[in-house]
Amino acid sequence: MMPIKNTEWITEDGVHHTLASPGKRIIAAAINFGLAYILWTLAVFIFPEEDNPTMPLATLAVYGFIQVWLMSAKGQSVGKYLMKIKVIDK
């Protein structure tokens, strides 16, 4: 890929791409963190057993699995998908 400006790239096949702004990237990361936090909080309230944190951890493990699956299948996390950020592959 060749840089044109700070915000654009041309891939080897000649396609122009505009890079996501730092603000959009930060918001996407905040969405990912926020979803994990909300799921953790819901799991703690739904399964309030103080001696056994297995269910909240299992909830985060499922969320992590979904994130990994989305990243490998589509190249996007939930936050990137919602912010319409695409990963450019060489």
Span between the terminal Cα atoms of the chain, in Å: 6
pTM for the complete prediction? 0.73
Question: Along the 90 residues of the chain, how does pLDDT read in single tens digits?
Answer: 444 456 776 766 777 777 888 899 999 999 999 998 998 888 878 777 666 667 777 888 888 898 899 888 888 899 998 998 887 766
